[in-house]
Chain A
Amino acid sequence: MTSSSTDITLLVHEPIDPVGLAAYVRGNSDGAMVVFDGFVRDHSKNRRTLYLEYEAYEPMALAKIQEIAAHIHNHFSIHRVAMVHRLGRLEIGQTSVYIAVSSAHRAAAFDACRYAIDTLKRTVPIWKKEYFEDGSVWADGELPPLPSATSTVKPAS
C-alpha cells in the first residue's frame, strides 16, 4: 500500500515551506485543513537549548511516513496530506515537522492529523540531539512497537 499519489511526503535538509505546502493541500472541494507545525523550543527540562540536530535512517523513515499517510487515507475521510520532516541542524523557532491534512469536514482532518503526528513520533526512525551551553544529549525517545504490534499500524487491507 502506498500513499495517495497526490500526497507530499518528504525528508528535507532545508527549511520547510509551510505556505507552499498549505496552498498545495487545500482544495476547492475541501472545507477544512488542519496543520501541525512542530518547531524548535528554546528549552528542555529547565535547560536553555541552543539548537537541535536531527538525523534519520532516511529510506526507512520515508517509508514509514508514507505508511502513515496511506493509513490515514484508509481510515479517515480526508483529501490531501503533506508530511514533511526536516533533518540536520535546526535553530530555535524553526519548523522541524509539518503535517497538513485537508478534508470536506473538520473532524476527519483533526483526527487524521493527530494520528499522523502521534504515530510519526512513535514509529519513524528519526533522532534528535539537543545542544546546550554545557553539552549535548540525545533526546529521550519512544521505543517503536514490536514487529507484531507494528503490523497492525500498516493499512488494513
Chain B
Amino acid sequence: MPPVSQSIRVRVLFFGRLKEIAGRTQESLDLAPDSDIESLFARYASRYPELQQYRSSVVASCNQEFAPWDTVLRAGDEVAFLPPVSGG
C-alpha cells in the first residue's frame, strides 16, 4: 500500500488584527488532504488562542474569492482570513 495520504501545501494570509495576533502576514503550511478552511483556522486558534474569539467575525477567502468555511483545500490554494472590512 502506498502512504495513505500526502500532505498538501497551502499559503495562508492574515490581515488587520488577525495579522497582529498571528505575528505574521503569511506563511506556507502543510496540511492533511481534505482539510477544510475551518480546520485550518482551528489549527491557528490552538497556536494563538486569542484568535478564537474572532472566529465569528472572520470571513475566509480561497484563491481571492470569499469561501465557505467547509471549503476543502487543495495543494497550492491561497487562503486568507479577513476581519470585518473597513475601507472607504
Residue in B closest to A127 when the chains form the complex, CB atoms: B16
Contacts known (A120-B88, A122-B85); A57 close to B13, Cβ less than 8 A:
yes
Residue among A97, A142, A143, A145 with the most chain B CB within 10 A? A143
For the complex, is A10 an interface residue (Cβ under 8 Å from B)?
A: no
Number of interface residues of A (CB under 8 A): 35
Cα-based distance from A148 to B61 in the complex (angstroms): 13
For the complex, is A144 an interface residue (Cβ under 8 Å from B)?
A: yes
Q: Is the interface of A mostly helix, strand, loop or mixed?
A: mixed
Residue in A closest to B85 when the chains form the complex, CB atoms: A141
For the complex, is A135 an interface residue (Cβ under 8 Å from B)?
A: no
Residue in B closest to A118 when the chains form the complex, CB atoms: B88
Q: Name the A residues within 8 Å of B61 (CB-CB).
A: 57, 60, 125
For the complex, is B17 an interface residue (Cβ under 8 Å from A)?
A: yes
Q: Assess whether A124 is in contact with B85, with CB atoms less than 8 Å apart.
A: yes
Per-residue CB contact flags for chain A residues 27-56 toward chain B (1 = under 8 Å, else 0) read 000000000001000000000000000111
Cα-based distance from A143 to B67 in the complex (angstroms): 13
Residue among B59, B82, B88 with the most chain A CB within 10 A? B88
Per-residue CB contact flags for chain B residues 53-88 toward chain A (1 = under 8 Å, else 0) read 000010101001111100000000000101111111
User: Which residues 139-156 of A have a CB within 8 angstroms of B?
Assistant: 139-148, 150
Contacts known (A57-B61, A60-B61, A147-B66); A138 close to B17, Cβ less than 8 A:
yes
Cα-based distance from A85 to B85 in the complex (angstroms): 14
For the complex, is A126 an interface residue (Cβ under 8 Å from B)?
A: yes
Q: Assess whether B16 is in contact with A138, with CB atoms less than 8 Å apart.
A: yes
Q: Name the A residues within 8 Å of B87 (CB-CB).
A: 54, 56, 61, 85, 96-97, 120-121, 124-128
Cα-based distance from A141 to B82 in the complex (angstroms): 11
**Top 10 nearest A-B pairs by Cβ distance?**
A126-B87, A141-B84, A141-B86, A60-B64, A139-B86, A127-B16, A121-B88, A128-B86, A147-B66, A138-B17
* Contacts A/B (CB < 8 Å), 18 sampled: A55-B15, A56-B87, A97-B87, A97-B88, A121-B85, A121-B88, A125-B15, A125-B61, A125-B80, A126-B88, A127-B87, A128-B87, A138-B17, A142-B84, A143-B57, A144-B59, A144-B66, A144-B85
